[in-house]
Amino acid sequence: MARGTTDPRAQTLSGEAKPGVVRTPGTPSKSADQVVALSKVSKSFGETHALRACSFSARAGEVHAIIGENGSGKSTLAKLLAGVLHPDKGSVRVNGAEPTNPRAARAMGIAVVFQEILVAEGGTVLDNLFIGDDGLFRARLTPRQKRARAGALLDRLVGAPLDLDMLIEDLPLNMRQWIVIARALLGKPCLVVFDEATAALDHSSVERFFDVVRELKASGASVLIVTHRIHELTAICDRATVLSDGVDVGTLAGTEITEARLLQLMHGEAPSQARDRLVGDHKAPAARVGAEEALVVSRLLLSEQAGPVDLVVRAGEIVGLAGLEGHGQVEFIQTVSGIRRPVAGEITVKRDGSGYAVDSVTSADRARLAYIPGDRKAEGVFINLSVFENFGIACYRRTARAGFIDRRRVGRMFQEQVQALSIRLGRRAAPINSLSGGNQQKVVLGRALATEPLVLALNDPTRGVDIGAKRDLYVLLHTLAEKGKAVLFLSNEIEEFAGLCNRVVVFRSQSVFDTLTGEEITADAVLAAMFGYSNAGGLDRARQ
Amino acid sequence: MPGNERPAVRVLAEQRALVTPVILFGVLLIISAWHGPHLFTSDGLAGAVIGAAPLVLATLAITPVALAGPAGVDLSIGPAMTFINIAVVLGLAPLGFSGPAAVFVFAIALGVALEVAMGTLIAVLRVSTVVVTLAVYLVLDGLNTVILPQPGGTAPAWLANWGSASSVLSPILYVPLAAFVLWTLLSRTTFFRNVRLMGANDRTAFVSGVPLIPTRIGAHVIAGVFAGIASVMFTGLIGSADPTAGASYTLSAVTALVIGGASLGGGRAKGLGSVLGAIDIWLISYVLSTFNFGLNASYWVQFATGAVLVAALVTGGIVTGLPARGWWRGRQRGMVPARPGR
> Predicted ipTM?
0.74
- The three state secondary structure string of A327-371 is CCHHHHHHHHCCCCCCCEEEEEEEECCEEEECCCHHHHHHCCEEE
211-270 in chain B: CB under 8 A from chain A: 211, 214-215, 218, 263, 267-268
Return d(Cα A315, Cα A294) in angstroms, integer. Answer: 5
Residues A1-58 have pLDDT tens digits of: 343 333 433 333 333 333 333 444 444 444 557 899 999 999 987 667 789 899 999 9
Q: What is the pLDDT of residue B261?
A: 87
Residue numbers in B near A138 (CB within 8 A): 190
Return d(Cα A377, Cα A108) in angstroms, integer. Answer: 37
Interface test with A, best of B190, B198, B207 (most A CBs within 10 A): B207
Please list, residue by residue across B115-128, b when 16 or more beta carbons sit within 10 angstroms of its beta carbon and e when fewer do: bbebbebbbeeeee
Residue numbers in B near A373 (CB within 8 A): none
Closest to A362 (Cα-Cα) out of A394, A330, A331, A329: A394
Which chain B residue has the Cα nearest residue A116?
B336
Name the pTM for this structure.
Answer: 0.73
Average pLDDT over residues A271-282: 44
DSSP assignment letter at A31: -
More confident residue, A268 or A241: A241
User: Is the CB of B298 inside 8 Å of chain A's CB atoms?
Assistant: no
Closest to A166 (Cα-Cα) out of A151, A181, A153, A152: A151
User: Is the CB of B332 inside 8 Å of chain A's CB atoms?
Assistant: no
Residue B342 has pLDDT above 50, yes or no: no
Contact A291, A58 (CB under 8 A): no
Q: Do B208 and A163 touch (CB under 8 A)?
A: no
Which chain B residue has the Cα nearest residue A340?
B328
Minimum-distance CB partner of A120 among B3, B197, B328: B197
Residue numbers in B near A325 (CB within 8 A): none
Shortest Cα–Cα distance, B103 to chain A (Å): 28
Which amino acid would we find at residue A108? M
Q: Which residues of A touch B (CB under 8 A)?
A: 45, 82, 84-85, 102-103, 105-107, 112, 114, 116, 118-123, 127-128, 131-139, 147-148, 151, 161-166, 183, 341, 378
Residue numbers in B near A121 (CB within 8 A): 200-201, 267
Where do you find CATH 3.40.50.300 in chain A? 8-122+188-266, 275-368+454-543
Range A8-122+188-266 classified under CATH 3.40.50.300: yes
Q: Do B341 and A112 touch (CB under 8 A)?
A: no
Q: Do A123 and B205 touch (CB under 8 A)?
A: no
What domains, with CATH codes, occur in chain B?
Answer: 17-334 (1.10.3470)
Express as a percent the part of chain A with pLDDT over 90. Answer: 24
Q: What is the pLDDT of residue B222?
A: 96
Q: Which range has the worst mean pLDDT, A45-49, A226-230, A444-448?
A: A45-49
Q: Do A103 and B207 touch (CB under 8 A)?
A: no
**Alpha carbon of B255 to those of B21, B30, B284: distances in Å?**
12, 22, 12
Residue B214 has pLDDT above 60, yes or no: yes
Task: Mention every residue, 6+ apart, whose C-beta is less than 8 A from residue A307.
Answer: A301, A509, A510, A511, A512
Residues A290-342 have pLDDT tens digits of: 778 899 999 999 888 888 999 999 998 999 999 887 788 899 999 999 988 88
Q: What is the pLDDT of residue A254?
A: 82
Contact A503, A516 (CB under 8 A): yes
- For the CA atoms of A97, A99, A101, A102, the dihedral, rounded to the nearest 10 degrees, stands at 120
Instruction: Please tell me whether the peptide bond between B211 and the residue prior to it is cis, using omega within 30 degrees of 0.
Output: no
Residues A120-135 have pLDDT tens digits of: 888 889 989 998 888 7
Interface test with B, best of A75, A76, A131 (most B CBs within 10 A): A131
Residues A80-131 have pLDDT tens digits of: 999 999 999 999 999 999 999 999 999 999 999 988 888 888 888 998 999 8
Q: What is the pLDDT of residue A92?
A: 93
Residue A79 has pLDDT above 70, yes or no: yes
Shortest Cα–Cα distance, B191 to chain A (Å): 5
Shortest Cα–Cα distance, B341 to chain A (Å): 6
Residue B283 has pLDDT above 90, yes or no: yes
Q: What is the pLDDT of residue A40?
A: 92
Which chain A residue has the Cα nearest residue B219?
A136
Q: What is the pLDDT of residue A260?
A: 77
Residue B137 has pLDDT above 90, yes or no: yes
Q: Do B1 and A45 touch (CB under 8 A)?
A: no
Q: What is the pLDDT of residue A518?
A: 84
Minimum-distance CB partner of A122 among B194, B215, B267: B267
Q: Do A103 and B197 touch (CB under 8 A)?
A: no
Return d(Cα B66, Cα B258) in angstroms, integer. Answer: 10
Which amino acid would we find at residue B196? R
Return d(Cα B304, Cα B227) in angstroms, integer. Answer: 26
Average pLDDT in chain A: 81
Q: What is the pLDDT of residue B217?
A: 96
Return d(Cα A413, Cα A399) in angstroms, integer. Answer: 10
Q: Do B207 and A163 touch (CB under 8 A)?
A: no
Q: What is the pLDDT of residue B13?
A: 53
Q: Which range has the worst mean pLDDT, A184-188, B60-64, B225-229?
A: A184-188
Shortest Cα–Cα distance, B322 to chain A (Å): 13
Residue B29 has pLDDT above 60, yes or no: yes
Q: Do B205 and A105 touch (CB under 8 A)?
A: no
| Architecture of the domain whose range is A275-368+454-543 | 3-Layer(aba) Sandwich (3.40)
Residue A440 has pLDDT above 70, yes or no: yes
Position A73 confidence tier, pLDDT thresholds 50, 70, 90: confident
Residue numbers in A near B336 (CB within 8 A): 116
Q: What is the three-class DSSP state of A395?
A: coil
162-201 in chain B: CB under 8 A from chain A: 189-191, 193-194, 196-197, 199-201
Minimum-distance CB partner of B197 among A84, A123, A164: A123
Shortest Cα–Cα distance, B212 to chain A (Å): 10
Q: What is the pLDDT of residue B122?
A: 94
Q: What is the pLDDT of residue A424?
A: 78
Shortest Cα–Cα distance, A123 to chain B (Å): 7
Q: Do B207 and A112 touch (CB under 8 A)?
A: yes
**Burial grade of A137 (CB within 10 A; 0-12, 13-18, 19 or more):** exposed
Residues B296-321 have pLDDT tens digits of: 778 888 888 889 888 877 876 665 55
Q: What is the pLDDT of residue B15?
A: 66
Q: Do A131 and B196 touch (CB under 8 A)?
A: no
Average pLDDT over residues A70-82: 86
Task: Mention every residue, 6+ apart, whose C-beta is less than 8 A from residue A264.
Answer: none
Express as a percent the part of chain B with pLDDT over 90. Answer: 55
User: Is the CB of B205 inside 8 Å of chain A's CB atoms?
Assistant: yes
Average pLDDT over residues A408-413: 88
Q: What is the pLDDT of residue A172?
A: 80
Q: What is the pLDDT of residue A327?
A: 85
Residue A209 has pLDDT above 60, yes or no: yes
Shortest Cα–Cα distance, A67 to chain B (Å): 21
Q: Do A84 and B341 touch (CB under 8 A)?
A: yes
**Alpha carbon of A403 to those of A392, A409, A414, A426, B161: distances in Å?**
15, 14, 20, 30, 67
Return d(Cα A193, Cα A113) in angstroms, integer. Answer: 6
Q: Which range has the worst mean pLDDT, A136-140, A501-505, B168-172?
A: A136-140
Q: What is the pLDDT of residue B341?
A: 31
Dihedral class, residue A314 (left if φ above 0, else alpha if ψ from -120 to 50, else beta):
beta
Residue numbers in A near B203 (CB within 8 A): 118
Residues B91-128 have pLDDT tens digits of: 998 888 889 999 999 999 999 999 999 999 999 998 99
Residue A75 has pLDDT above 70, yes or no: yes
Shortest Cα–Cα distance, B201 to chain A (Å): 5
Q: Do B194 and A136 touch (CB under 8 A)?
A: yes
Residue B22 has pLDDT above 70, yes or no: yes
Return d(Cα B226, Cα B212) in angstroms, integer. Answer: 22
Closest to B277 (Cα-Cα) out of B244, B295, B300, B252: B252
Return d(Cα A325, Cα A329) in angstroms, integer. Answer: 8
Q: Do B208 and A102 touch (CB under 8 A)?
A: yes
Return d(Cα A416, Cα A101) in angstroms, integer. Answer: 52
Q: What is the pLDDT of residue B318?
A: 67
Residue A497 has pLDDT above 60, yes or no: yes
User: Is the CB of B154 inside 8 Å of chain A's CB atoms?
Assistant: no
**Burial grade of A144 (CB within 10 A; 0-12, 13-18, 19 or more):** exposed
Interface test with B, best of A88, A129, A136, A146 (most B CBs within 10 A): A136
Indicate if the alpha-carbon torsion angle B66, B69, B73, B76 is positive or negative.
negative
Average pLDDT over residues A357-374: 89
Q: Do A164 and B268 touch (CB under 8 A)?
A: no
Closest to B18 (Cα-Cα) out of B327, B285, B279: B279
Position B4 confidence tier, pLDDT thresholds 50, 70, 90: very low
Average pLDDT over residues B13-28: 81
Interface test with A, best of B208, B210, B263, B335 (most A CBs within 10 A): B208
Position A287 confidence tier, pLDDT thresholds 50, 70, 90: low
Position A535 confidence tier, pLDDT thresholds 50, 70, 90: low
Q: Do A102 and B214 touch (CB under 8 A)?
A: no
